């Protein structure tokens, strides 16, 4: 799997989101990522404490290098997470852990780096389309926030995009979506895609849809909304999840047009893979293609849900190999 010199191992890879932090180890050249553990961020004061807890549970192993995808823009040494109270210095963290190299990349940049290394068993195609080899690729996914990234071809290889596309303005399509957006605009002043296309956003969307329909604002959690939508036991929950999938389709279509993502658009994050066949039956794909004169263009672009476990750890490993000037995995 992953190359490199024996003396540069073991290596730590991680994926830190708003709610969970996942870590794994590459113990030797050619080894796959192993000893993968998921920790709750709220149970640790910061990444140093979380990593030390993880390493202690693995017998006190000392990694030589590390790379971590994180749900945050990487704009300097000091990081303050958007959906998590952790704040820290990359340099201080590297020194405290005794690492030679410590690489941080946006979590969806890490996910993007993993895409060329996913096989068909870890993907569910939604709708038609066939990837154009060597073309740009998009990735988007609702979780604690809304992650967005992509890969663009550069001299025969792919380069990842590190951006904050989850904070673009929401693009409503139906009359009721416009009404919901207007209600949220009055409340928040700006309605980003992440405002509704995320775990917390599902609750926001549910509440706003009730308000638009003149109903009492419900007090349900995301798991209950999803469960009652999937078993069709509550109309408001069912309509909320249907609108969620439709708006995600519109947002993913915008990403495909922006990148020219004829290599396909991948759906990651923690929410959509749990929806199973419901998502395939939803309005996601129809709304992905509903772009007027460019509907035919989008109809040719494939979309997939990522069902593989922990792909961002693979992307972090790729980012570390790039930082160490090694060849990426094939």
**Residues contributing to the annotated binding site for ATP:** 14-19
Which residues are documented as binding site? 14-19
Q: Which residues pair with 146 in a beta bridge?
A: 142
Structure tokens at 181: 């957006």
Task: Give 3-state DSSP helix, strand, coil % of the chain, rounded to 5.
Answer: 45, 20, 35
Q: Residue 95, Cβ neighbours under 10 Å: how many?
A: 11
- List, as one string, the DSSP characters of 224-276: HHHHHHHTT--HHHHHHHHHHHHHHHHHHHHHHHHHT-TT-EEE-SSSGGGGT
Distance, in Å, from the CA atom of 33 to the CA atom of 38, rounded to the nearest integer, reads: 14
Nearest residue to 240 (alpha-carbon basis) of 287, 267, 203:
203
């Amino acid at each position: 799997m992953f190359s490199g010199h024996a003396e540069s191992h073991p290596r730590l890879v991680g994926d830190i989101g708003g709610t969970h932090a996942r870590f794994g180890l590459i113990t030797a050249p050619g080894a796959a990522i192993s000893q993968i553990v998921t920790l709750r961020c709220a149970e640790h004061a910061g990444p140093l404490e979380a990593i030390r807890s993880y390493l202690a549970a693995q017998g006190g192993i000392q990694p030589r290098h590390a790379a971590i995808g994180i749900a945050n823009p990487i704009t300097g040494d000091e990081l303050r997470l958007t959906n998590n109270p952790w704040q820290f210095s990359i340099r201080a963290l590297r020194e405290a852990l005794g690492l030679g190299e410590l690489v941080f990349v946006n979590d969806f940049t890490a996910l993007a780096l993993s895409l060329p290394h996913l096989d068909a068993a870890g993907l569910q195609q939604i709708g038609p389309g066939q990837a154009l080899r060597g073309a740009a690729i998009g990735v988007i996914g609702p979780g604690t926030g809304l992650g967005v990234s992509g890969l663009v071809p550069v001299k025969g290889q792919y380069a990842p995009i590190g951006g904050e596309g989850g904070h673009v303005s929401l693009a409503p399509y139906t009359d009721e979506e416009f009404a919901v957006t207007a209600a949220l605009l009055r409340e928040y002043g700006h309605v980003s895609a992440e405002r509704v296309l995320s775990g917390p956003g599902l609750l926001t969307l549910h509440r706003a849809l009730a308000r638009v329909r003149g109903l009492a604002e419900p007090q349900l959690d995301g798991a209950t909304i999803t469960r009652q939508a999937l078993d069709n036991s509550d109309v408001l929950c069912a309509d909320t999840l249907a609108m969620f999938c439709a708006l995600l389709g519109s947002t993913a279509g915008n990403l495909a047009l922006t990148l020219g993502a004829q290599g396909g658009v991948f759906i990651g994050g923690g929410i959509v893979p749990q929806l199973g066949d419901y998502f395939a039956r939803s309005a996601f794909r129809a709304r992905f293609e509903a772009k007027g004169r460019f509907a035919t263009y989008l109809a040719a672009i494939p979309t997939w849900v990522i069902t593989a476990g922990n792909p961002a750890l693979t992307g972090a490993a790729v980012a570390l190999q790039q930082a160490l000037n090694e060849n990426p995995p094939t």
